[in-house]
Structure 1
Amino acid sequence: MTIRIAIVDDQSLVRLGFRMVLEAEEGVAVVAEASDGAEAVALAARGGIDIVLMDVRMPGLDGIAATERISAAGPLPKVLVLTTFDLDEYAYAALRAGASGFLLKDARPAELLAAIRAVHAGDAALAPTVTRRMLERFASSAPAAGEAERDEAALAVLTPREREFLVAIAEGDSNDELAARFVLSESTVKTHVGRLLRKLGARDRVQLVILAYELGLVGR
């Protein structure tokens, strides 16, 4: 199955660079390009796209707002955010808006392709060198009024093993790594992950990571 990609960036040379990398690989195809968020939303609405590679800082409708609109419209396409800076607060905002992951623009081609395939398979794609620092930075503030009660209520629905799973996911473990860590089959791991998604009302693994930090299970 070919993964259909749309590249969204306000710099034409950046779009060209990503296109050249992706078109050299089997199993992926660049089917559309856009130079701002509004064009990206329109492209997504037409269908025929599996993943949007989304720049964050663009004139007009930025990548965060575009990601939020695309995610609110349906499960596809998924959004993979591209960021220049490894502590970019906009990348965190994009994750909260519904992106399935983020990647630095200077990532190697193999890393870009691995992230695309992970997102297409329903996994998260979080740049390992920056995820912990970025999420710690924006999830370490003291909870606002009412948030502590919300956090306790959310944690109360989890068993001790499910909390352990949530921490491991937040630390970046893949399904294979979870299976090895907890000595389980991959199918059992998927069952545990699915149960966490349902109990916490999370859309995907990215939201589980954010929730783990916001609930104080990691990073504080």
Structure 2
Amino acid sequence: MTESTRPYDVDPLYQQAIAGFAGLLAQAEQAGEPEPTAMTLATCDGDGRVSARIVLLKAVDAAGFRFFTNYESAKAQQLAAHPQAALCFHWKRLREQVQVRVEGRVQRLPEADSDAYFASRPRGSQIGAWASRQSQTLPDRAAFEARYAEAEARYSGAEVPRPPHWGGYVLAPDRIEFWFGAEYRLHDRDLYERSGDGQWSRRNLYP
């Protein structure tokens, strides 16, 4: 991110939580999880209606958890109305199953970050970002295929630029919970939480 580093970015407990998450993600990848970066993203609109869907984590660092989407999608409209969200990772192949739950404030990434990630995507996915009117009504599949063909022809022989309606977000956590499954549902729950004054704390929760 281009904004100045937040105070909690350097908090030892926060760094511990981020490092713990990164370690578990690496273990999930090594364990052969089919989609280790898959996460449930829960958002809420201005009326309090909650929605959830699976998206892919693209990076995590001291600034938070990054993902990308269409800025005109339903999730983006909800984030504009209520810029708070929750994430949940579930790795079935780790131990007796592991979950990580993350909550915090969401904001758009700088355009340069979105440009850089978009340039790394497969060309077909780049074309698809131009063709899709995400979350809007699709009259039939042929209409989508026609839009894809038109975008493909438009950028034939040239690099595909990032659409202005597509880009990234970062969720800056204020809660990170590690849930470790155990027999008889005697799970371990380890919560890192940021207080209003910016200080992080750590405590265990009953399962």
Structure number, greater radius of gyration = 2
- Structure with higher strand content: 2
Q: TM-score with structure 1 length normalisation?
A: 0.25
Q: TM-score with structure 2 length normalisation?
A: 0.26
The one of the two structures with greater contact order (alpha-carbon pairs below 8 A, sep at least 6) is 2
